[in-house]
Amino acid sequence: MFPVAPYLGSIQLGESEQPLALTRAAKASCPDCAIVFYMHLLAYNLIRCLMWQAAAQHSRPLHRISFAGTVDRLNALKPCLQLYGTSDRGQRLYALLLRWTADDLVAHRPARLEPRAVKRRAKQYDLLNRPRSKMRKALLRG
């Protein structure tokens, strides 16, 4: 198996792993944005590798292991993994991380169907579809 533990302590998992942030970074043209995109891709693949190891070691179906749960547990143990590294205690912590990850299964719902639609507009205001100055004059007129 690929040893993921040495790489897990150095990835940053904050608000920026949202898919929207990844697509914005992928569309941007600056070289730093490309680096950020590839770092997120590397972090994503390392987390998926961690999930794969947990599923293989604990005989769980890979598609049922929670990605968000894996990220949460990794964030919880990340300081300890960084502190102990590849020592005996670090290896025990990594085994604990794998067990926690394998135990966090997503519920099996075979008939689930979630349409991608929005019920209503998030804000109660009209769209700005004319020049702002003309709309301002229309508001003043009443």
The model's pLDDT over 39-87, given as tens digits with 9 standing for 90+, comes to: 888 999 999 999 999 999 999 988 889 899 999 999 998 888 888 888 8
In a domain, 119, yes or no: no
In a domain, 129, yes or no: no
In a domain, 122, yes or no: no
Q: Is the pTM of this model over 0.85?
A: no
In a domain, 136, yes or no: no
**Mean pLDDT of all residues in 108-134:** 75
* Domains: count for the chain: 1
Helices 31-58, 88-103: crossing angle, 10 deg rounding: 80
Helix, strand, coil in percent for the chain, rounding step 5: 65, 0, 35
> Shortest CA distance to 66 belongs to which of 56, 76, 51, 77?
51
Domain around 95: 5-107
DSSP string covering 92-120: HHHHHHHHHHHH-BPP--TT-------SS
